[in-house]
Amino acid sequence: MPVARRIAVALMAMATLAATACFPGAGGHSRDGVITVWTVLVLPNELEQMQSVLDDFTAGTGIETELVAIDPGDMPTAVTNAAAAGDLPDVLFHTVDLTQGWAADGILDAGAAEDVIASLGRETFNPAALDLVRSEGRTAAVPSDGWGQLIFYREDLFEEAGLEPPTDFDAIEEAARTLHGGDTVGLLAGTSTSTPYTQQTFEHIALANGCELVDSEGRVDFHTPRCVEAIDRYTTWMTEYSAGGQQDELSTRATYLSGRAAMMIWSPHLFDELYGLSTEIAPSCPECADDPGWLADNTGFVQRVSGPGGDPVQFGQTLNLGITPHGDVEEAQEFVGHLLSDGYPGLLEVAAEGQFPMRPGTGEAPEEFIGSWKEAEVGDTAETSTIGAMIGEDGVSAISDGALNFERWAVAGDQGPLVQALYGEFVVSQALQHVMQGTMTPDEAARQVQERAEELSAD
């Protein structure tokens, strides 16, 4: 089997992925004429589509490729071990929270990334996405695609109650209070202390209130009135108007798709399930038995939210292509350039519902790749759809607008490793849980996060 056709991944055995992370030589290459790509996209259908894009590159250039899937939770350890063994892959397709730490450790070649961006046209990239991958004044990786946190809401329930869309804290709280009760949950978001989902949903709300993790000098600055208010609001919503217990991305999704929630903070990866295009889970609301599209037809979404202390912003998670310095750098640059030009439409179909292009177009056609994204097929059932058909032009415009305002705690201030450490220890999630259990006040919770963040920042 040609190297370009090999996918070095055990689809049904995550233990094999862990072994790849621990043993030198399991997918890493250095100057061997093969472009090795490690990706955090690990589902079978995602890998099949991504491999197709790699095959096209090989067919056009003669440069062979090898694709290695690493579970997102295993990626940091895998890269650390590979770096220690001198066996890094050529390209790392990774989430933005990893970029700055890897750049600081010499794992990423910022110069190689900047050359690719310059060759494609820096002005053709989303400036917010470029800011998120800056490290010590340089662009450490090439932004590919991403998603922004959304508030999904039941338009029919809002209309019946005469409620405004949930675009700010007061509107969210009024809707949650008004619609919570009986068989309906007011607002679903993360409360689990063992998954990143809770910190992601809270960070969306915190950013909306101007609650930042660090100040403009890069110093931890979380014990502030804006952060205390964000904690107070979030924990009040979760204790008074939510489902109770340890809520994660799977439990909240199931509740919303059952038709028993008025609002939910979730990613656009919900779209395929909401429209009945996923074999994993489908809408199960009572009305959906006769009309499978009923819930989708009655669901709207808000991409940017504001609190009393902040401006409308959106939590953003981007995927980026990092080039390592010890492999086939020039061929890796050619490969990355291909992925974000001729190969881009295919790449945006790997998991299209959550892959809004961070390079919207070219100099000659500024929205070319947004057009490609709109036409990208979504779904792994017998019936598929396209992004544009599902959410329409207004939905596409809303998501495009939100992407220009992607924000993350500390990442744009060269403190990405601190955010990664906080996520890894579930520091924020545990503090929120203490408030919800009544063992801490919001002020005490903010102080606890502040103190632990200071300790991690000093390490």
Which value, to the nearest 10 degrees, does the dihedral of the CA atoms of residues 322, 323, 324, 327 take?
150
Q: What does the pLDDT read at residue 33?
A: 81
154: left (phi over 0), alpha (psi -120 to 50) or beta: beta
Q: What is the pLDDT of residues 422-439, one digit of tens each?
A: 988 999 999 999 999 999
Dihedral angle of Cα 191, 193, 196, 202, to the nearest 10 degrees: 40
Predicted model pTM: 0.91
Domain map (residue ranges) of the chain: 3-147+317-403, 150-314+406-458
Q: Which residue has the tokens 């903070």?
A: 265
Summarised one tens digit per residue, pLDDT across range 336-346 is: 999 999 999 99
pLDDT in tens, 52-92: 999 999 999 999 999 999 999 899 999 999 999 999 999 99
CB atoms within 10 A of CB 456: 19
Architecture (CATH level 2) of domain 3-147+317-403? 3-Layer(aba) Sandwich (3.40)
Residue range 10-48, pLDDT digits in tens: 333 333 333 333 333 344 444 568 999 999 999 999 999
Fold match, 3-147+317-403 / 150-314+406-458: yes
Percentage of the chain exceeding pLDDT 90: 85
CATH of domain 150-314+406-458: 3.40.190.10
Q: How far apart are CA 173 and CA 101, in angstroms?
A: 37
| Whole-number pLDDT of residue 73 | 85
What confidence category does residue 364 fall into, taking pLDDT thresholds of 50, 70 and 90?
very high
